[in-house]
Structure 1
């Protein structure tokens, strides 16, 4: 299975910027064997999907509500993302868990809603610095997997070492290998044989300079790229470093 290289644009880009970035990614996608995905803000999903029509680059959202419609001011329903041209949605990102107090139960409900709408969910898990220094990293991630993923699970898992984002600390290849091996074991334990086929992305400060090493780690099925995805050349360089199978 080719690796998936997903760009999380977070709260960046005005409409013209988003279209230009999408077009630049599509223009450089020829010959890349990895699956490519960009996730703009919900406001720009439709414009980016239109710009990428006919290209090998997929479009995703960054969050969705757990219900398909209703009186939820400011929220976006999964069917709306699908209608706008999205095929994926990121759920449970550490910034959503921390800044919006999202729980595993809520993320599971959103994941179910995403699948019902025809979207592939990318569910994020990961431990904080306090949890890692306290030796709780596997316990935390194991509980997040159990609480956030419905059974059966038709989606992708992304591991984010929250402790290595904006702290000055860096996850080593061994850190990534250890946690991804644990996540694979948990997926198999919780989902049986189906757990072998669930892709596990790595999402901790992936950039052009470290992509090849990180993407070569066992059980790394791709990358969830943050800041580096806002530069088409760097995002494409990361994608070229991906394994084809």
Structure 2
């Protein structure tokens, strides 16, 4: 049975010392957490580039995955300031966050750039964390169409390999509340169907981000494979509550599976 995923992006909120302290605190939680240790819950963290190596060191011996918040659209060469997906993989990262709404809005990343980065990440053996979501608030069916189109564009020409799709409607990022539950269920179901229909995407997952917090996993149930947290997770204790929630959901899914019940 697939794990329940809990992801955290630190964006550029932490300085180096604070990040290292956070890594130590969260690593201690991960080492003591039955769900994380058993693999029922998969935790990943995407810190800033300078924090990737300390994160890999701090989480050594745990199942926690570390990723970069971006990856270059080229394999190597004269691209000042860029970091290649292959280098991320070389130092021990296993995820590359690609196509976040902030990268698109602030740095002009296009669908073509996102697709190029996705191809590089997969060639390097990384799991692309594809940030997908409509910019304006739409009805659920229209949002599904827009999100699936964005996903297919990101995967254009990409080699085989699993991806993590983070559905983050842009209008919900940083909002007081996440998107309505029925809205999330509809779009996540469409994204999952698109992944299931692609034979190259075995093992992929769909998670929700955008004002995600405690209680959301329980409310969404099997509609998503996990959540992608932002500032809420800056408090390690708060993150631990979501890990507990994910563990409870994983246990419920196991019970349903063993009893032959309908999810």
Which of 84, 87, 92 does residue 85 from structure 1 map onto? Answer: 92
Aligned residue in 2 for 1:11: 12
State the alpha-carbon separation in 2 of the partners of residues 65 and 186 from structure 1: 26
Deviations 1:34-69 (A, max 9, x none): 111111001110111111111222211100002222
**Structure 2 residue runs without a partner (length 5+):** 254-263
How does 1:211-226 map onto structure 2 within 5 Å? Answer: 211-214=217-220, 216=221, 218-226=222-230
For the pair 1:233 / 2:237, whether they are aligned, the reply is: yes
| Contact map agreement 1:208 1:237 (CA 8 A) in 2 | yes
Change (3 A) 1:151 1:139: farther
| Contact map agreement 1:173 1:213 (CA 8 A) in 2 | yes
Change (3 A) 1:133 1:155: closer
State the alpha-carbon separation in 2 of the partners of residues 48 and 188 from structure 1: 32
State the alpha-carbon separation in 2 of the partners of residues 138 and 173 from structure 1: 14
State the alpha-carbon separation in 1 of the partners of residues 178 and 168 from structure 2: 12
Deviations 1:146-205 (A, max 9, x none): 10013534211110111222455641211111111111222334x15x667421011121
Q: Considering only aligned residues, what root-mean-square deviation do their CA atoms show, in Å?
A: 2.1
State the alpha-carbon separation in 2 of the partners of residues 165 and 177 from structure 1: 17
CA positional deviation for 1:133: 6.3
Which of 178, 192, 207 does residue 186 from structure 2 map onto? Answer: 178
Aligned residue in 2 for 1:208: 214
How does 1:122-133 map onto structure 2 within 5 Å? Answer: 122-129=129-136, 132=138
For the pair 1:139 / 2:140, whether they are aligned, the reply is: no
How does 1:9-88 map onto structure 2 within 5 Å? Answer: 9-29=10-30, 30-32=33-35, 33-88=40-95
Greater length-normalized contact order (CA 8 Å, ≥ 6 residues apart): 1
Q: TM-score, normalised by structure 2?
A: 0.84
| Contact map agreement 1:184 1:195 (CA 8 A) in 2 | no
| SS of match in other structure, 1:73 | coil
Aligned residue in 2 for 1:161: 169
State the alpha-carbon separation in 2 of the partners of residues 69 and 196 from structure 1: 28
| SS of match in other structure, 1:72 | coil
| SS of match in other structure, 1:122 | strand
Greater helix content: 2
